[in-house]
Structures are given as C-alpha cells and as structure tokens.
Structure 1
Amino acid sequence: MPSSYRRFLTLVIALIIGVATPVLVQARPDLERTIGATVADSPSPDYQFSDLRLTSADGQRRYRIRIAQPRIAPPSTGYPVIYFLDGNAVLMELNAHLLAQLAVQKQPPVLVLLSYDNDLRIDSRDRSYDYTPASQQKVGKQPNGGADAFLKLIETQVKPAVAAKVTVNPQQQTLWGHSYGGLFVLHTLLTQPAAFQNYIAVEPSLWWGKGFILQEAQRVIDRHPPLSAHLQLWIGGAEKMREAPPIIRQSQLPADAAQSLAKRLATLDGLKVDYREWPGLDHGAMLSAAIKPALEGIAKDKAADQ
C-alpha cells in the first residue's frame, strides 16, 4: 500500500473518531457586518453590473445574483465565467482598478456573484444550508445539507439566466468558494464534475461532518472515474492546523490535510490538481487574497480562446 494512501486513510479515520492535534482556533467573522457601498454602485467604464433575483425551491431563501459583464466585445468563443460563492463578501473586495486590469486582458471574465437578497457580508444561516452536503448527522446548530439543491438552482436557473444576458463560453466556467464555499466546490467536483471545468477551493472546511468531504473523496478515488477538470486547492499557511469553530465542536485537522487530499485527487485520470499555500495568511485573510489570482488566471488562460 503506497505511503500516501496510508496517510490519507489515517487522516479520514482520525477525523471520524476525533483524533487530531489542536493548534489554532478559527477566528469567527463579524456576522453583523454589511456590505455598504461597492463598485457595483458606481458607473464603470470597464464592467456593467446587473441583478438577478431568485427564490429557492422550498421558498425559504432568496438570492440576489450580481452579474458583472465586460463592456468590450466578447471573444469569438464567448466570455469565460467565474461563479463566486459568498458573493457579497467578494463584491466588497472588488474595486475599479481591478476591473480595469481585467478589462484589458484578452479574455476578461464575466463575474457572477452568488449572494443572498440582503446586505449582509456573510449570511451565516443560509450559507450553512446551501453550501453543505447532505449528511446523516446534524452538524452544529445551523440547518445544513442543501448543497445538491443549491447546485441544481445554479445549473437550472442561474446559468441559463447568465447565458441569456451575456455571450459566455460554456467550456470555460469556474466555481470559486471559500471555507464552507470551498466545501461546496469540492462536493460539486466529486458529485457533478461536468458542471464546471475549473474549481477553486479556498480554505475548504474539510473538518465539516467529521471529515465528510474526505470520505466522499475517498469513495470517488476508489472508483477511479475519468474526469476532465482542473482543481485549484488554496490554503493559508498560518492555519494549516486549526480547530473547527468552537460552536461546531468537530475534530481538528492535521497539518497536511489539504495537501494530502490534493495528492490523492491528482491520481484521478483527467483531473489536474494544483495545490498552493499562502505563507502567513489565516483563514479569513484567504478570502480576500484568493480573489485577484483567480480572476487573473482566468483572464490570461489561453485555453479560453480555443
């Protein structure tokens, strides 16, 4: 049995039984913070913003989807598109200078900011439901398990609405998520890999559900299906070992949890995996740090013009 495989199995078992070494405690975000004025509120010579409002199938959650479209003509194959989870928080990190930099690239992307229909930077309750997979156990105090329904909403309502507004390249679609959003990115890749071509998981909550996503990944690895996708797994070096939020009371992660996952997923045929660490950045700081590299990578991707 290869040593990397043994380490991965050990990681999964440790998370299931709750054995790991605690080091850092995750800082909790300010859940009352609102977005205020953003780049979407001022006319831009580079990008045009429009809104789309939707309701979940069960009628419990309302969404505000912001679509940022480059003002220049689309490439012959259509614009590449990046779908950002926690769209309000991402919107707060955008500025006119960044949009101007994107607009002069050969492949300026369309930005789709998946948000809730309120002015909260982070809607803790609704994202806890939409971004987490269905599990047989209850995790924390918030409702969870709506990831598959949320992905269905993206596939059947959001994507068609974006395509009706903007000329997009259906073969150059990226899904980006941080924390619970990163968990959603990985779950989508493992269960519906053809939904997107590029997946960017930033500080994914691997601890969630006692390592639910690691167990899901191992089941896929055991089947070894051919995939055609690109996963970028990005981690802040300051929190390679950290506890789950105290309110969750879950297991801690070993230092190489994400790196081990990346190595194992890279064994799947057709799946390109890039693992990157940002030295000195903690969990919260990674949300901001991972936006510009994601956008620049798409804008400069030569494959988008093929």
Structure 2
Amino acid sequence: MEKTTGAIGRVGPDHARAEARLAIFEAGHPTHALSQKGVAAGPGHRLFIATPRGPAPSGGWPVLYLLDGNAAFDFLTPDHLAQAEGLALVGIGYDTDRQFAREQRTFDFTAPDGPGDGIRPDPVHEGRMAGGAAQFLDRLTGVLRAAAEDGLRVDPSRRTLWGHSFGGLFTLYAALRRPGSFARFAAISPSIWWDEALIRRVAAGADPKARPPLLVALGDREKRSGSDGPPPDGPAPATMDFVDSLRRHPGLDPQVHVLPGLRHIETIAGSLPLAIRFAAGA
C-alpha cells in the first residue's frame, strides 16, 4: 500500500483520500429506492438512504445505520441491496466528495478523556483533535436520526449501528457507554490501537446490566493504515484480546468473524453481508 503526503506533511494511505464515486446511485434497483439529503448540523453531513420498495410492515422497517456513509455507500453494491430486501440502510456521511473526512471523523469517533469535556489533541495524528464521541453520539441519535427517518417508517426497536475502523471504535464506545442508543452494534476492524488504554477504561465503566447484541469483524491481512511492511498473517492480536475481554463483561457475548484474505479497507465491503443479516435479525 503506497503512502501519500498531504500539504502539511501528514502521511496516510491512498484510499484515505479517494473520491466517493457513489456508483450505486447511477441505476435503479428492484429492492430499494435511493436518495440523498444534506443536514447542516455540526460540520455538515450528507445522508445516503436506501428505502425498501413497497409498503412498510406495521412496525416499520429495520434499519442499518452506516458510519462514514460516503465510503460505505461507495462500497455498497447491487448485490448487497439484493441481500438487504426488507431492510433500510442509512449512510451517515460528511459534506465532502471524498470517501472519508479524515480530521472530522477522528474527532467524532474517538472517546473523550481527561478533565472537562475530554476533548484534546489527537495523540497519534499531529494537528487533529480528538474526544468528540459523546457530542457526535448526541448528534447521531438526535438531529441526524430525525432527518434520516423523516418520511421513513422505522422500527425503533430494530436499529443497528455499523462502523469501520475509527467508526468501529466509535461503535464500541456507543455500545459500551450508551447501549440503548441502538438495538444492535456491528464494529468492523475497530481501531483499538488508537488508544487501547482508553477503550479499555470505557469497557470497564460499562453498565453490567446492558446486553446489546454485538458483532465484531476484521480481516486476517490488516495492518495499521500507512504503516510499512507486509500485511500480517492473522487478525490483529490487540483486537482479538480486547474482544475476549468483553466476553468477561456481564451480559456481553460478541459474535466474532475473521474475514479471510481481507485487508483493512476491504473489510468495508466484506463485512456488509454479515452486517445485513445481523441487522435483519438473522
């Protein structure tokens, strides 16, 4: 994986700067109607919505919320939609033409730490800020959810949150700190490495009565974005150890799936069939 250097010297993988083509919007689909809308909340968001065709069930549609919606819908395929018949999909993206809003997602998807509001300089990425997860979770379950579900009949008891990489880290944070915010949680290739001690403190403070269904998936050829050397042969040990520690938490029994042959960016598309079945309750 080649690395690129930005205008102020930051180094990152090529895929982190990729344009979101959103080819899924270029044709009609027999199972879903696709739409987009902007929301002027926070830094500015774009919502990508796939609504099942036909009348909604009496209780409303189950819905799968996808963080990094620009990227998630860029990797979404007609085959994924065919597998998601009867399931609404909502991508929570940013107002950008890129797959990822790198600085903003770092802030939004990382847990607060320290005194006051817990916002601090990112200890890993120079020039970025971190610790905005509590604020983002309020925005996600407030104005963003309201905008996404305006005109969309949703079953409130069947909302699932999916996140990849930093989004996976945020999904773990939400599941551990506010397990009632969604019915189910799917953390894909979560960035445990970013501040492992912090996410372990979050887990240690979780409500022992909470039992949210949790799915964790990761590839066996992943390495930290921008790092040198060949891909590893096996899933990230830190992630596997953290998930194992969650099993010792009362009420938590995460499903774990190792996706063979997949690198970090590839687990976005690779995890979607799992997440679709999980969100549908299968």
TM-score by length of 1: 0.77
Residues 1:120 and 2:98 aligned together:
yes
State the partner residue of 1:45: 30
| 1:190-205 → structure 2 map (5 Å cutoff) | 190-205=176-191
Q: Contact 2:39–2:147 at 8 Å: present in 1 too?
A: no
State the partner residue of 2:56: 74
Residues 1:130 and 2:108 aligned together:
yes
Q: Which amino acid aligns with 1:200?
A: A
Q: How far apart, CA to CA, are the structure 2 residues paired with 1:42 and 1:215? A: 46
Q: Secondary structure at 2:266's aligned position in 1? A: helix
Q: Secondary structure at 1:238's aligned position in 2? A: coil
Q: Which amino acid aligns with 1:169?
A: D
Shift of 1:245: 4.9
Q: Contact 1:233–1:258 at 8 Å: present in 2 too?
A: no
Structure 2 residues not aligned, in runs of 5+: 1-10, 115-119, 229-234
Shift in alpha-carbon separation, 1:297–1:255, aligned structure 2, 3 A: closer
| 1:7-22 → structure 2 map (5 Å cutoff) | none
Q: Contact 2:41–2:143 at 8 Å: present in 1 too?
A: no
Q: Contact 1:67–1:110 at 8 Å: present in 2 too?
A: yes
* Residues 48-94 of structure 1, C-alpha deviations (whole Å, 9 max, x = no match): 1222322334xxx1100112100122223211111101111111122
Q: Contact 2:12–2:225 at 8 Å: present in 1 too?
A: no
Q: How far apart, CA to CA, are the structure 2 residues paired with 1:191 and 1:93? A: 29
Q: How far apart, CA to CA, are the structure 1 residues paired with 2:14 and 2:192? A: 18
Q: Secondary structure at 1:207's aligned position in 2? A: helix
Q: Which moved more, 1:36-45 or 1:127-136?
A: 36-45
Equivalent residue for 1:274, pick from 236, 255, 269: 255
Structure 1 outlier segments of 4+, above 6 Å: none
Q: How far apart, CA to CA, are the structure 1 residues paired with 2:12 and 2:104? A: 20
State the partner residue of 2:80: 98
Query: Which protein shows a greater Rg?
Result: 1
Shift of 1:285: 1.6
* Residues 228-282 of structure 1, C-alpha deviations (whole Å, 9 max, x = no match): 311111121223xx457559xxxxxx95322222222223333331112123222
Shift in alpha-carbon separation, 1:144–1:246, aligned structure 2, 3 A: farther
Shift of 1:218: 2.6
Q: Contact 1:200–1:231 at 8 Å: present in 2 too?
A: yes
Q: How far apart, CA to CA, are the structure 2 residues paired with 1:83 and 1:29? A: 26
Equivalent residue for 2:265, pick from 274, 278, 284: 284
Q: How far apart, CA to CA, are the structure 2 residues paired with 1:36 and 1:135? A: 36
Q: Contact 2:165–2:191 at 8 Å: present in 1 too?
A: yes
Residues 1:148 and 2:129 aligned together:
no
Shift in alpha-carbon separation, 1:193–1:206, aligned structure 2, 3 A: same
Q: Which amino acid aligns with 2:71?
A: A
Q: Which amino acid aligns with 1:88?
A: N
Q: Contact 1:66–1:114 at 8 Å: present in 2 too?
A: yes
Q: Which amino acid aligns with 1:229?
A: P
Q: How far apart, CA to CA, are the structure 2 residues paired with 1:229 and 1:64? A: 28
More helix by share: 1
* Residues 28-55 of structure 1, C-alpha deviations (whole Å, 9 max, x = no match): 2433321224212333332112223223
Q: Which amino acid aligns with 1:274?
A: Q
Q: How far apart, CA to CA, are the structure 2 residues paired with 1:257 and 1:198? A: 23
Q: How far apart, CA to CA, are the structure 1 residues paired with 2:209 and 2:255? A: 17
State the partner residue of 1:189: 175
Structure 1 residues not aligned, in runs of 5+: 1-25, 248-253
Q: Secondary structure at 1:51's aligned position in 2? A: strand
* Residues 82-110 of structure 1, C-alpha deviations (whole Å, 9 max, x = no match): 1101111111122223323322xxxx211
Greater relative contact order structure (CA < 8 Å, 6+ sep): 1
Equivalent residue for 2:195, pick from 209, 212, 223: 209
Q: Contact 1:90–1:291 at 8 Å: present in 2 too?
A: no
Q: CA RMSD in A?
A: 2.4
Shift in alpha-carbon separation, 1:255–1:83, aligned structure 2, 3 A: closer
State the partner residue of 2:70: 88
Q: Contact 1:27–1:284 at 8 Å: present in 2 too?
A: no
Q: Which amino acid aligns with 1:35?
A: A
Q: Secondary structure at 2:50's aligned position in 1? A: strand
Q: Which amino acid aligns with 2:251?
A: G
